[in-house]
Structure 1
Amino acid sequence: MVRFHGKLKALFNSRWLVFVCAMWIQSFAGIGYLFGSISPVIKSTMGYNQRQLAILGVAKDWGDAVGFVAGSLSEVLPTWGLLSIGAALNFLGYGFLWLIVSQRLPAFPLWVLCICIYVGTNGETFFNTAALISCVQNFPKSRGPVVGILKGYAGLSGAIITQIYAMINSPNESSLLFMIAVGPSMVVIALMFIVRPVGGHRQVRPEDNSSFLFTYSVCLVLAAYLLGVLILEDLLNLSQSLITLFAVILIILILLPLIIPIILVFFSEPTPSAQESLLLEAQREEDGKSEQDKTEVILSEVEDEKSPEVDSLPASERQKRIAQLQAKLFQAAADGAVRIKRRKGPVEERISH
């Protein structure tokens, strides 16, 4: 039992679980892609013309584009704070829009609806920022695949939400607005304490290639499946039971990447202690790389001319020796007459005044 609890803790702190949950958030984060689905009911219910509908579309685009607020807050707030703000904006904006369109509230001017759709869509920027920051920090050596997969799921989110809505088969067309207001917010609140930067090793591991390949495959299969289902629903008059079956298969495909962290935590062999120490050392070297790059030229001169016995010193003592030599070089350069004689032995400095 103790070991099982340890495995659960390891699963909760797994960077792959964070990545999978971020994919789920992105699967419901592309709210702006659904404007084409909700605009007809807004137009018919509110009696808007095409020009007024275009103004609403511009407000939606502004909400989707203004992401500097989320980016600025990410410097001072934890990831769950960003996600909670995004969920609140999404719920309030589209929730109020649903109340107006469903005529549960009296009709408001167009500018009020513009504010609602701006606020609701702006919540998407908080979802994207939190998911991307967490996963990029957890996979610093695989930024490209991580960002590409997350943006791919965000692009599919409109079709995913539409297919799940088709399973509900609500007679009220405005209920899609209610689903947009409630659905993404519920998913984000359920996952906001999981999606975060986690500790542990962030180096590339042997199993990462196969895990990313599996994730790519699931994403491609999901996209092809959604395309095929939407084409079938457009060409044929499918029964509601068949549409429900398609939606269930869709949910299974969305949940399928959860296999990766489960296998890595519960069924993979424990990493040997020697390999763990090597990964820790590689992580420490990576963390100090930016500082070392500042003096790359000078350190390369010193490294080329250091004596063989310097290599046998401990890492801390070796860095101390190099720092002392570097300080002497700076002082000599300030005096305007430094000359380094290259040879196989130690560094010799001849300062001629």
Structure 2
Amino acid sequence: MQMCILIFVGNNGETYFNTAALVSCVQNFPKSRGPVVGILKGFAGLSGAILTQIYTMINFPDQASLIFMIAVGPAMVVIALMFIIRPVGGHRQVRPSDGLSFTFIYSVCLLLAAYLMGVMLLEDLVSVSHTLVTIFTVILFFLLITPIIVPIALSFSEEPRDPAEEVLLPKSEQQEAGKPEQSDQEHEVIFSEVEDEKPVEVDLLPASERQKRIAQLQAELFQAAAKGAVRVKRKRGPHRGEDFTLMQALIKADFWLIFFSLLLGSGSGLTVIDNLGQMSQSLGYDNTHIFVSMISIWNFLGRVGGGYFSEIIVRDHAYPRPVSMAVAQLVMAVGHVFFAMGWPGAMYIGTLLIGLGYGAHWAIVPAAASELFGLKKFGALYNFLTLANPAGSLVFSGVIASSIYDHEAEKQAHQHHIQLQMSGLLFSGLYGQDEVLKCEGSVCFFLTSMIMSGFCVIAAVLSMILVYRTKIVYANLYGKSRT
């Protein structure tokens, strides 16, 4: 019971840190949501490998010291940064150097992932001295603090203001002198009326022509409302792309499409991560920890890459971001097939595909949710969506995978028992009272992997339905920047 309470407190603490950093950074960089989410979630996924390397250097004599380090270390970091990480003024402005800055940080991320992969493989395969481990850890610290060069360099350089930047002014300065605030509310209601009353074919027009038609319709509604010819309806609720509360989002089909797509996709990936040790042992691999380290690296690269490539899709093509999630889910479906077949080298390929696809979910989903449902209540929306991860793991890993594995293990144990009886090496009734069930061969996870592959295909279909439903939203959000 005590252990359950400690795990509950620890996991919830991680959620608070995650939410505070993610929400603040997405609000500070609303024009680069994909890269920001990908980098943050990537480092969150890589934190286990980083702390392991630090622990290896310090070389504590007992595990209690490791728990103490994990408990105190993150808390000290949070206390030191609690007044720095926050939404700041001017967060909607876009710097011309943002692309170069994110490219530099991406390069550091790739270098860090490659470095950790090499260090972990070297420490697993070769006996490394403590001095060399210390050198490895010092280099790791250097790579971790390298991205701080970006804000330091920007703080000492003044960039010319881009005319396309959005200038943030106080609300009083945005309104015309002597014009009451009610007029802005009327303008918002009129615009909402335009969205409701405009013909369907308007959305199919090119961006420039569509804006002209909407402006014309809005002007007509202004005149009609002023003459009393029409009564403008009050806005019933936000449209996609505006700020939603959690309760408003829960009644939207798009929100549940994201949720169930995430549940099926990330749940199947987490099932592999939870059972990776048994899967590798069943296929005859002894060093199971190598695959655990590898999937951690691929997970990191999936998060970073998912944010990067999904941003290219929305920024350069104004296409819905969930299409990249559908691609990631199809990649995971192929990875599950490799696990099911059990071919030579399948563990390496399957680990690569599952790690990349699973990691990509956690860069794409938060960014897509913030685009469709706004940033005002993004923390509540994001944390509700993360419930899909443990829910999927509970059903897929705790029920499906474990039940099928136990069934196959019992079947193999029974067959082995019969063979021993037939050979006269075992007396009847003496079998297996204290023997641990163990399954060998690709059959152990064949059915589970095929089921997970099917779930990933269904998740990809749900993502494509979401893509179809949100094409207009993304065209309005990102189409203007391309024209």
SS of the equivalent of 1:279 reads coil
Distance 1:146 1:265, change over 3 A: same
Q: Which of 52, 65, 82 is the matching residue for 1:162?
A: 52
Percent identity for Structure 1 against Structure 2: 57
Superposition pairs for residues 233-252 of structure 1, below 5 Å? 233-252=123-142
Superposition pairs for residues 186-335 of structure 1, below 5 Å? 186-266=76-156, 268-272=157-161, 275=162, 279-280=166-167, 293-297=191-195, 303-304=215-216, 324-325=222-223, 327-328=225-226, 331-334=228-231
Partner letter of residue 129 of structure 1? T
Distance 1:211 1:302, change over 3 A: closer
Alpha-carbon distance, 1:277 to partner = 9.2
SS of the equivalent of 1:200 reads coil
1:51 matched residue in structure 2: none
The two structures have a TM-score, normalised by structure 1, of: 0.52
Q: 1:130 aligned to 2:20?
A: yes
CA–CA distance in structure 1, aligned partners of residues 65 and 168 of structure 2 = 55
SS of the equivalent of 2:97 reads helix
Per-residue CA deviation, residues 38-86 of structure 1 (Å, 9 max, x unaligned), is xxxxxxxxxxxxxxxxxxxxxxxxxxxxxxxxxxxxxxxxxxxxxxxxx
Alpha-carbon distance, 1:171 to partner = 1.5
Alpha-carbon distance, 1:271 to partner = 2.7
Distance 1:332 1:291, change over 3 A: closer
The two structures have a TM-score, normalised by structure 2, of: 0.39
Alpha-carbon distance, 1:134 to partner = 0.1
SS of the equivalent of 2:30 reads coil
SS of the equivalent of 2:31 reads coil
Alpha-carbon distance, 1:269 to partner = 3.4
Contact 1:302 1:325 survives alignment (8 Å)? no
CA–CA distance in structure 2, aligned partners of residues 235 and 191 of structure 1 = 38
Distance 1:282 1:224, change over 3 A: farther
Moved more, 186-195 or 294-303: 294-303
Partner letter of residue 245 of structure 1? I
Distance 1:116 1:334, change over 3 A: closer
Alpha-carbon distance, 1:210 to partner = 0.7
Q: Which runs of 5+ in 1 are unaligned?
A: 1-110, 307-320, 336-353
Distance 1:162 1:304, change over 3 A: same
Partner letter of residue 215 of structure 2? E
Partner letter of residue 279 of structure 1? E
Alpha-carbon distance, 1:136 to partner = 0.7
Counting matched residue pairs gives 206
Distance 1:152 1:290, change over 3 A: farther
**CA RMSD, aligned part only?**
3.4
SS of the equivalent of 1:246 reads helix
Distance 1:190 1:334, change over 3 A: closer
CA–CA distance in structure 2, aligned partners of residues 305 and 143 of structure 1 = 32
Distance 1:334 1:244, change over 3 A: closer
Q: Which of 38, 41, 57 is the matching residue for 1:151?
A: 41
1:4 matched residue in structure 2: none
Q: Which runs of 5+ in 2 are unaligned?
A: 175-183, 199-211, 233-483
